[in-house]
A and B are shown apart, each in its own frame.
Chain A
């Protein structure tokens, strides 16, 4: 056990924490934008797959790495537009539309991968983002630029939400769409913008997996990270700063379970490794219970707005 405590003070451990946290930061910020405008976005799991595939495929076809990031954001944004059309334009059930989007995004990505690479046993690879070794900050210098981008987005989105008229409109739409409409602002436009931007972030979250964390596209590589982001937003009480904290906390436990598993692994009679893998998910549920006692939920979340209907 003391070995584990020793490990907590080492740089590699915190490098791992930040690496695990990066896609969660992107994803959580994406969900946060959507939910702040009053729209649940359960398409995140699928959009992360879409981003992971399209970003990676663009780079595989010869685009620069940042071109891959932009491709991931753009393709995910198009799926976001579809989500906006379904949930804002047509006022469909946000739960079901989001799940449908996840199923569609995942299926289309897998389908495209198999069309592009019909018979490969070893997945083709690309050269991923390099570490920022030029940066004089200890843990951060072993991360890729995408992690830096994620960290910078937190204050940026915080500023945008709390210090700009557009952010005020977005938060109001999530609380009281009627009031916003009476101010001459279009609820549909604000929500659509929020969903498209949020979806683009979800795409980048997925692209981090294939362009930075790994160098190839695998089936099931997103593996529930999207759903974790949805839980983290609740934990974060819909605030960007706390979202960062939540992502880091989740990543901390994820990195910790890996170390515990390694420490435990050698001995016979240790816990099965699956119990360590469960830990972050169990903590997410526990966090939901703790967080739900507060009443920070946007008032209009999951309530479609139909003009003229009350």
Chain B
């Protein structure tokens, strides 16, 4: 098997690749449903209905897409610069914890800080917490050459244990009857609902705004140019005068900050306190979302809604027909691999070598 670069990639090829990817993922999903012994068509129908079939379904899907969009953007900016931030999960929890520390802990102590100021401080603290959690691995990479993949992955476990310790200790909610749950945010800090009687909150505007902002940064600023140059070829970028250290540090702050913001917005918009199961792997899903979006900030909006739809739809389908909701995770993971393969095949042609005559 040999790869040969294509000299020209036409639009029809991209269309075929997209359709083929979709068909492949549907096929995998169908096989899994059949393996679980459920009627395929009905399962699919229930899944789609549960994700996009009603106002309520849409509201749940959009609610779920908010943290995914932000962690997706966090992965996008980092991966674009080839800083492989796999620590989104820990950064999200760090942000959530910081948000509650600022916006919930001194409740009743009598620190009457005005609302908007405290709100800003809360969001800033969350972004700072996330940013610092990635700054460490980024500096370790720059200074010692430590692979950031492993350090950010390990940090996830450390942060989660730290959050657990805080929920048992300093930030424990005394009224939670022994549940490991933090004190609640002050009510006036919570985000408003976007639609009455649903859970969609204004965090959606924040995350879409973040996508737009990141797109502008990537497209129109020097920093964005530096990031893209660094990602394309770090040695050439350094040679051309891109300030490598500065760019990597800024990318780390931006990426970690976005993941931290995801945590704060989950707390302020949905849960109002921190628990150890507030994120079912949003940090990791963010990477999938970023790759599905081809590392384009605006496409992250679409891909996060799609992934959220699969997750929400699978939950709803599972309740009705009993196919395990892990189907969603399997479908999302296969989608990642299928899309990667499709993207590769649009750029390269696979030649199956016939044994060359010696």
Residues of A within 8 A of B (CB): 40, 42, 82, 86, 89-93, 95-97, 99-101, 103-104, 106-108, 110-111, 114-115, 118, 188, 223-224, 227-228, 230-231, 234, 272-275, 277-278, 281-282, 284-285, 288-289, 292-293, 306-309
Q: How far is the CA of A95 from the CA of B153 in the complex (A)?
A: 12
Cβ contacts under 8 Å, A307 to chain B: 2-3
Please judge, given known A-B contacts A103-B333, A115-B324, A292-B144, whether A227 and B153 are in contact too, CB under 8 Å.
yes
Assess the B155–A285 pair: CB atoms within 8 A: yes
* A89–B323 CA distance with the chains assembled, in angstroms: 34
> Are the CB atoms of B155 and A292 closer together than 8 Å?
no
**Residue ID in chain A nearest B86 by CB atoms:** A99
Contact with A along B231-256 (1 / 0, CB 8 A): 00000000000000000000000000
How many angstroms from the CA of A61 to the CA of B291 in the assembled complex? 38
Which B residues, 34 to 58, have Cβ-Cβ distances below 8 Å to chain A? 35-37
Which A residues are CB-close (under 8 A) to B24?
none
Cβ–Cβ < 8 Å partners of A275 in chain B: 161, 165
Question: Which residues of chain A are within 8 angstroms of B291 by Cβ–Cβ distance?
Answer: 96
Q: Is residue B354 contacting chain A, with contact meaning CB distance below 8 A?
A: no
Q: Which A residue's beta carbon lies closest to that of B330?
A: A107
Interface assignment of B216: CB less than 8 Å from any CB of chain A:
no
Contact residues in B for A230 (Cβ distance below 8 Å):
149-150, 153
Residues of B within 8 A of A106 (CB): 329
Contact of B336 among A82, A100, A223 (CB under 8 A): A100
Secondary structure dominating the interface of B? helix
A91 to B3, CA, bound (A): 9
A-B contact pairs, 12 of them (CB 8 A): A90-B345, A96-B291, A103-B336, A111-B324, A114-B324, A224-B157, A231-B154, A275-B165, A284-B150, A285-B151, A288-B151, A307-B3
B32 sits at the interface (CB 8 A) = yes
Query: Which residues of chain A have C-beta atoms less than 8 A from B140's C-beta?
Result: 285, 288-289
Q: Which 3 interchain pairs have the tightest Cβ spacing?
A: A114-B324, A107-B329, A103-B333
Q: Are B326 and A114 in contact (CB under 8 A)?
A: yes
Are A107 and B146 touching (Cβ within 8 A)? no
B198 to chain A, nearest CB (A): 28
Kindly provide the distance from the CB of B184 to the nearest chain A CB, expressed in whole angstroms. 21
Minimum CB–CB distance for B47 against chain A, Å = 14
Choose among B1, B3, B35, B84 the residue that contacts A115 (Cβ–Cβ < 8 A).
B35
Q: Determine whether B327 belongs to the interface, using a CB cutoff of 8 Å to chain A.
A: yes
Q: Quote the shortest CB–CB distance from B337 to chain A (angstroms).
A: 5
Q: Which residue of A lies closest to B5 (CB)?
A: A309
Report which of A97, A104, A114, A288 forms a contact with B334, defined as CB distance below 8 A.
Answer: A104
> Which listed residue, A107, A273, A288, touches B326 by the CB 8 Å rule?
A107
- Residues on B with C-beta less than 8 A from A103 are 284, 288, 329, 332-333, 336
- Chain B residues near A92: list those with CB within 8 A: 340-341, 344
B residues with a Cβ closer than 8 A to A are 1-3, 5, 32, 35-37, 84, 86, 140, 144-147, 149-151, 153-158, 161-162, 164-165, 168-169, 284, 287-288, 291, 322-324, 326-327, 329-330, 332-334, 336-337, 340-341, 344-345, 348, 350
Chain B nearest Cβ from A118, distance in angstroms? 6
Q: Are A110 and B324 in contact, with the CB atoms below 8 A?
A: yes
Tell me which residues across on chain B come within 8 A of A273, comparing CB atoms.
165
A95 near B84 with CB under 8 A, answer: yes
Chain B residues near A309 (CB-CB < 8 A): 5
With A96-B287, A97-B337, A99-B287 as contacts: A274 and B326 at CB distance below 8 Å = no
Contact of A111 among B326, B340, B344 (CB under 8 A): B326
Q: Note all chain A residues with C-beta closer than 8 A to B336.
A: 96, 100, 103
Complex Cα distance, B154 from A274, in Å, reads 15
List 4 extra interface pairs beyond A227-B157, A230-B149, CB under 8 A: A103-B333, A111-B329, A272-B169, A289-B146
Query: By the criterion CB–CB under 8 Å, are B1 and A89 in contact?
Result: yes
Among residues of A, the one whose C-beta sits closest to the C-beta of B151 is A285
In chain B, what residue has the closest Cβ to A108?
Answer: B330
Q: A91-B344, A100-B333, A104-B333 are in contact. Are A224 and B154 (CB under 8 A)?
A: yes
A86 to B1, CA, bound (A): 12
> What residue of chain A has the Cβ atom nearest to residue B351's Cβ?
A307
Judge whether A274 and B164 touch: CB under 8 Å. yes
With contacts A91-B344, A227-B150, A272-B165 taken as known, whether A281 is within 8 angstroms of B157 at the C-beta atoms is yes
